[in-house]
Structure 1
């Protein structure tokens, strides 16, 4: 365990140092072109996944049909690693993100250039209304909108209620919704340094077509994501 903890520390330091190096090197390209920002972030995400494999023994895989058109991806969120797996898998991900991240070095710049949508989580109803308006404006360019229905990272053994903002976006955009389950948090927790070796999975689930009512949509979404995430966690020996 001590060796794995040390490997985790070294990996974490290198991961963030590499973020700084990439952020600086690609910033002129990112400022000039959205495609530049996209390419830089793809390279970084692939690098993190590759480094995790040989430095801490954590590999990642994506299952299920990868969404490529204009869709809402409603994803289980357990750690930074599931973000990387989704971002590498889909062609052009745009994330609903908390507004504070805009002031994070490098992340803020690239998030803006990718077309990510910042949300003020403290304003609730006003935040949802603004989010819908911002998303409608941003979707002048194609992409896959990734939202986390629980609003934050959630540990594998914790239940957190799903927020209605996902249903509002789903209805307002009239796009299909692709749920995504994961077991990433078993290996890479939402907090702390220790990362465990293993095979972390993100799985895209059957699409929910447009037109489902709000209550039925939320029930279907939560059941699909939670059931399959629990199954994935059991596959690797975790009993939720």
Structure 2
């Protein structure tokens, strides 16, 4: 049985335009469930994701299931099994749901996994002829996550999936991610701590381009002093009684 993290990042450093953005990030992503990547604005979360994917120049070590990827181009990293749902979702508004999914297809021995996508998100099947630009924010996130599930990926990275959404839609997106994580492990970049509390078993916190904390998510969110110091949250812990809407 394979042990250890699915994704192991060590001493990840990113230099852009002569400016050091990441100064040595360490990150472990579990082989199941949701691992949350947290931090204040500007801490380096999105740059870390882009570094993992090879979208920015990076040094250090990025191992996917034990295989070193830090020297590989982005298209090769993606083909190794990482699906990416970017912060802006990357939806083509003028195309239908079906066309948006079709664009994400990659050649593989088993073909695209439409059965899995439609099992998890039956609404996408019902709305396959609808223009993606007319979908709600939650439905668009289904399309974004659905695309990552088509190709047998071993890991999904979801970057700020609830950013800018109304509380009701945040709840819908949390449900989308919850269903996706039953099929594929998720690395979730997220600011909404109630969403993190609901979904994540593990977490890492960045501060100033470095890893400031790693451990169980419930442990961090239950420690008011540590959460306030690392994340700048308000008074008291994020409790189990809190709703997703309450923290939106």
Query: Same fold by TM-score, threshold 0.5 exceeded?
Result: no
Q: Under a length normalisation based on structure 2, what TM-score does the superposition of the two structures give?
A: 0.39
Task: Give the TM-score, by structure 1 length.
Answer: 0.41
